[in-house]
Structure formats: C-alpha cells, structure tokens
Amino acid sequence: MYTIRQASLRSGVSVPLIRAWERRYGVVDPERTASGYRLYDDRAIATLATMRRLVDDGWQPSTAAAAIRDGSAPAADAAPPRVAPEVESLGVRFVEAAARYDGRAIEAVLDEMLARGSFEAAVDRYLLPAAVALGDAWSRGEMDVAAEHAASAAVMRRLSAAFDAAALAAQGPAVVVGLPPGVRHELGALAFATALRRRGVGVVYLGPDVPIGSWVHAVQASGAAAAVIGAVMPADAAAAANVVAALRTADGSLRIAVGGTAAALVAAENVTVLPESIAESARVAERLLS
C-alpha cells in the first residue's frame, strides 16, 4: 500500500490532481487509515496512470473516467473520442472566457448556445457539455476554482430564468426534484426540472444538498406524485440510495426516479433510471405520472 505522495510518484499524477479526480470522478477509492490518511494499492496506481495517459492523449477527464469505470478504456494507441467541431468550438470559447473572467464573452457564448434550437436541444448538445469542459479544465489546473464558479453561476442564471419562464405551462401532480445530502453540482438537475416544467408538469425544485428528512417532508407536504433524485458523480450514489430508501419507507406508492451521470450506480429496487439526455429524461419522468 502507498501513501498519496508515493502514489503520485508512481503514477505521475500530482497530489492535488489525484484528490480532484477521486472527488470529482471516483476513478479511485483508496483505503483510509485510522487517522484518515489515504492508502493506494497497485491497482489504484495503474488506474491513475491510465487516467493520466488518456488525458495526456487529449481525452476530457470526465470521458476518460467514465471509460475507466465501465472497463472500456482503450489501449495506449487509441484515439480520443470525436467531438462535433461546433460543440468543441463553443466549449473551448466558453472555457477560455471563464479563465479570463470575461463576463461579456461568457454571456455571448451562452447566448449563442441557447439560440441553437429548443431549450432541451441546446442544453443537451452545448450547455451541459460546456459545463463538463469547464470542470475538466479546472481538474487539469488550467483555471482557478473562482473562475469555474463564476462561469457556472452564469449558467445557473440562464437555467433559473428558463425555469421561471416555464411556470405558466406547469400544472397537474407535482414532481419533487433535487439532490441528496452532500451533493452540490446542480446544473443538470435544474436543467431537467426546467425541461419537465416545459412539458406542463408541476415541479417542486429543492436544489442541492437536501437532507433526507427534508426530502420526506417536501414530498408529504407538497402531495407530490413522484420524486427525482440526482446522482452526478459515483460518490453520490450512496446518498441518493439513502434518499430513495427513506422515501419508499414513508410512502410505498411514490414513484421514484434517479437521474444524472451516476444514476445507474444507485442500488435501489423499483426505481426508474432516467436517460442522460435532458429531453429524454423529461419524457420518461412525465410517463411516470400516467
């Protein structure tokens, strides 16, 4: 077993980057000593080295991590996955504007993204991939966390405005949407809640980091017919499963779904796993109410 500094030397990945990849993407899950220090085995070292190689070869960290987790990480001479040129161009411009703290350029890119089709299409094709690219740039050390937060806040303002604008269309039984305790990455959850509201479904949006007891209270007090819990990263799966269990105990007839890139990792019975596409997820969630 190796300490994090030894793991860094053996894998070629800096200590801060190991911590970032572990927290953000769940590529390794080190053991902990009684004092809380991380310990890495040979398999973890190999995983970190593979992650480093893929990123060095041009892969986005999020894409590389997903390939490692599902066992599809390619051999050393494989090419990175292709990205549509216009998607990559907008994402690059967004990240570059964020790194410069250029508020006008950030807003201009967001305007261009949201003008390319319906809200759902723009979010699926441009907005969320750009947000992932933003996080990846931070993980590579290409921008300060303050720049990432500023750009993410700009995205949140756009999504919040779209959510509010969809209020007149919403009716019928309520669906409670939010994130489990400890989970704060809410762009996908708010985008999904907006898409669902645009389909005429009543949505109670709870936001990030909602305690388990508050989930139960929100469902009971609102008379919701369904609940959708977000699981963004692998580390979120356990918290999401705990929310599912509490809701199921409180109301056995409640329809429950889990969405987000880590939704398939939530170990719970009688729960619908939503597709990653915002548009498809909203359609599936609407069908849960019928």
- 210-235 pLDDT, tens digit per residue, is 999 999 999 999 999 999 999 988 88
**pLDDT (average), residues 135-156:** 90
Distance CA 161, CA 171 (A): 18
- Whether the pLDDT of residue 260 is over 70: the answer is yes
Q: Where are the alpha helices (DSSP H) in 123-166?
A: 128-139, 145-165
Q: Is 84 exposed, middle or buried (0-12, 13-18, 19+ CB in 10 A)?
A: exposed
First to last CA, the chain: 53
Nearest to 30 by CA among 13, 56, 49, 48: 48
Per-residue confidence (pLDDT) for residue 81, from 0 to 100: 52
**pLDDT (average), residues 50-67:** 81
- Phi and psi at 31, nearest 5°, equal -75, 165
The order of strands in the sheet holding 201-207 is: 201-207, 171-178, 226-230, 255-259, 272-273
For 66, how many CA atoms within 13 A lie in the half-sphere containing its CB? Answer: 16
- 153-184 pLDDT, tens digit per residue, is 999 999 999 999 988 666 666 899 999 999 99
- 192-208 pLDDT, tens digit per residue, is 999 999 988 999 999 99
Q: What percent of the chain lies above the pLDDT cut of 70?
A: 93
Distance CA 26, CA 193 (A): 26
> pTM of this prediction?
0.72
**pLDDT (average), residues 120-148:** 88
DSSP state of 269: T
Q: Confidence band (pLDDT; 50, 70, 90) for 101?
A: very high
Q: Please, what is the Cα angle at 123 between 277 and 94, to 5 degrees?
A: 130
Per-residue confidence (pLDDT) for residue 170, from 0 to 100: 62
Per-residue confidence (pLDDT) for residue 87, from 0 to 100: 65
Per-residue confidence (pLDDT) for residue 205, from 0 to 100: 96
Instruction: Tell me the β-bridge partners of 229.
Output: 178, 258
DSSP state of 274: P
- Whether the pLDDT of residue 241 is over 90: the answer is yes
Distance CA 188, CA 232 (A): 8
Per-residue confidence (pLDDT) for residue 106, from 0 to 100: 96
Q: Confidence band (pLDDT; 50, 70, 90) for 259?
A: very high
- Whether the pLDDT of residue 77 is over 60: the answer is no
Residue indicated by tokens 């669902």: 196
Whether the CB-CB separation of 193 and 142 falls below 8 Å is answered with: no
> Residue 172 CB: number of other CB atoms within 10 A?
12
